[in-house]
Chains A and B, each alone.
Chain A
Amino acid sequence: MIDTAWLAGHLDAILFRTVQHLYLTAITVAVGFAISFGLAVWAVRRRNAYGPIVAVTGLLYTIPSLALFPLFIPVTGLTDLTAVIPLVLYSLLIFVRNIVAGLDAVPRDVLEAADGTGYSPGTRFWRVEVPLALPLIVAGIRLAAVSTIGLVTITGILGDRFGGLGFFIFEGRRHDFFTTEILVGGLASILLAVVVDLVLVRLQRRLTPWATARSVASPTSATA
């Protein structure tokens, strides 16, 4: 089923596309997280903002990716931005919901103790609330990363410059459904998602040694 000769001849291309895949994913997660963190803090501070924020990010999540990716070509041309903007928009819902859930999960008595012992609001936020929200925040990062890795393959419809490992899937279609290319694109992308997820699990254990016994929920269940 797999043409090893093709594989041997294309190792360079596979490596290049893997790096591209990771690059698009990393930018998306970084930018998406930064925007979502701001939105989540706003939602936690002003409860009535939470509904609209989730409604809008949820609506974005429902837009078919095949339609959204080409949408920005007239504005941003065939640049990385054209791929990254939709990827970021898709990540917002996952991030916002997890960060809000994380901040909400900080026990009230802990907050009261922090206030009572003389934490200033800023110190309380960065030294108590954020650390205690980390398990759910990192769970959000894991979900967003895995979901973004899947979506990056679809950026291949923007042309050969894009797509990460998805490039091979589109190539395979063009070459009369050449199975090797389609499988390499698909399997490598899955492998990438698994590896990234495992790395993030490791990271979370390092960051939250106090929570090792606790299970981490993944509160989002929306689908594209």
Chain B
Amino acid sequence: MSTAERVVFEQASKRYPGTGAGNPGAVEDLSLEVPAGKICVLVGPSGCGKTTSLKMVNRLIEPTSGRILIGDTDVARRDVIELRRSIGYVIQQVGLFPHQTVGENVATVPRLLGWEPARRRARAEELLDLVGLDPSRYAARYPAALSGGERQRVGVARAIAADPPVLLMDEPFGAVDPIVRERLQNELLRLQENLAKTIIFVTHDIDEAIKMGDLVAVMQVGGHLAQFGPPDEILSNPASDFVARFVGADRGLKRLSLSRVADLELRRPAAVRLGADAAVARRALEGDPPRYVLLLDEADRPLGWVAEGAIPGDGALLDEELAVPASPLLDSRTTLKDALSMLLDADVQVGLVVDRKGALQGMVTADSIAEFMRDGSRASDQERRATPAAAPRGEAAP
């Protein structure tokens, strides 16, 4: 059971006295709407006001002007303590209470809300399970006995304990090493598939922003919103020089990591089944530039390529000896970035896409990736996150 509510910034500003516009942490006229159930990443260099913007939502910082709505209610009209109990909050240093056990930490907001101890304990165990920590091993420990990654998991569990509609995350994975960070990012995306909370996520890392965000808000020093949109739009159409510089010269490559093989329209290579007549293979190559035919086994699993010159005379049967296994195998979940990288590494610049059983679905070439990027036609973020669309199945080999 989960609920989510939209979060709207309406010309929210935070000015600090003394200095003019452009002072660190200030926010200028921020207007954006995060639809319910989406992850919005605020990203920008330090001092751009992204953390200030985040803290205006749970009123750790009060805006100088403008307002912020959760659902349809101005947060300034709500009781600040009650407001904060209804918003999950995760910070970089985690801020677990050292004098409380992991179980008590997770049950913080339920305790503040006055839940019965038995219900609190059950909820804490459920959440520890959810974030991948065995309650029987972890619930009674103190935070000092946890690793950085484990602490951050407990921090996330604490934030969602009372099922808040909105989650604020301030550089939540900034203090852990890259391997743990990637794992935590993937776990959060997996959790979000079921939780569907409205998440506002602050980071200074553009790669993290692109990976985590349904929507990305790029901010620049002075607290100006430089661009707001889906990650692909930020990468393919930077709104200003600042955004282009911030996302980096390799934004083309970054876009590759946003799309998966499933987003491509797959082409069928010329293919024949093991044991087919050589004449069939020769016909398959007719009128086609490729000088190779793909040999499949009886379950459509690719065995390798047979060069045109190596096809024996008509009447002979094709066997495995003739095939050269040289293509990388991809599946529909492979990102285009990984796919391209594998193609560049391989002897043959054709990637074969197979399903879970290893049966051929189609092929990917560097050209087809380039063409896809040029057209910019890709599934929306939403579809990317959900299960991949069924890849077009080629007609069965004769």
Q: Determine if B98 and A112 form an interchain contact, defined as CB atoms under 8 angstroms apart.
A: no
Identity of the chain B residue whose Cβ is nearest the Cβ of A113 in the assembled complex: B95
A159 CB within 8 Å of chain B: no
Query: By the criterion of a CB under 8 Å from any partner CB, how many residues of chain A are at the interface?
Result: 22
Q: Determine if A110 and B98 form an interchain contact, defined as CB atoms under 8 angstroms apart.
A: yes
Please encode chain B, from 182 to 223, with 1 for each CB lying within 8 Å of some chain A CB and 0 for all others: 000000000000000000000000000000000000000000
Identity of the chain B residue whose Cβ is nearest the Cβ of A131 in the assembled complex: B99
Q: Determine if A112 and B91 form an interchain contact, defined as CB atoms under 8 angstroms apart.
A: yes
CA distance A219 to B197 in the complex (A): 47
Q: Separation in Å of the B52 CB from the closest CB of chain A?
A: 14
Q: Determine if A116 and B60 form an interchain contact, defined as CB atoms under 8 angstroms apart.
A: yes
Q: Decide if the interface of chain A is mainly helix, strand, loop or mixed.
A: helix
Question: On chain B, which size bracket covers the interface?
Answer: 20 to 34
Please encode chain A, from 108 to 127, with 1 for each CB lying within 8 Å of some chain B CB and 0 for all others: 01111111111110010000
A6 CB within 8 Å of chain B: no
A100 CB within 8 Å of chain B: no
B1 CB within 8 Å of chain A: no
Identity of the chain A residue whose Cβ is nearest the Cβ of B86 in the assembled complex: A118
Chain A residues whose C-beta falls within 8 Å of the C-beta of B100 in the assembled complex:
210
Best-buried of B89, B91, B99, B158 by chain A (most CB within 10 Å): B99
Q: Determine if A208 and B84 form an interchain contact, defined as CB atoms under 8 angstroms apart.
A: no
Q: Determine if B60 and A110 form an interchain contact, defined as CB atoms under 8 angstroms apart.
A: no
Q: Determine if B94 and A113 form an interchain contact, defined as CB atoms under 8 angstroms apart.
A: yes
A9 CB within 8 Å of chain B: no
Near B by CB (< 8 A), chain A positions 184-216 give 208-211, 213
Near A by CB (< 8 A), chain B positions 102-129 give 108-109, 112
Q: Determine if A132 and B99 form an interchain contact, defined as CB atoms under 8 angstroms apart.
A: yes
A44 CB within 8 Å of chain B: no
Q: Determine if B95 and A118 form an interchain contact, defined as CB atoms under 8 angstroms apart.
A: no
Among A109, A131, A211, point to the contact of B94 (Cβ < 8 A). Answer: A109
Among A109, A120, A210, point to the contact of B144 (Cβ < 8 A). Answer: A210
Contacts A115-B60, A118-B84, A210-B100 aside, 5 further interface pairs with beta carbons under 8 A come to: A112-B95, A113-B89, A131-B99, A208-B99, A213-B144
Selected A-B contacts with CB under 8 Å, 14 pairs: A107-B98, A110-B98, A113-B89, A115-B60, A115-B84, A116-B95, A117-B109, A117-B112, A118-B83, A118-B86, A119-B112, A128-B99, A209-B142, A210-B98
A residues near B, CB below 8 A?
A: 107, 109-120, 123, 128, 131-132, 208-211, 213
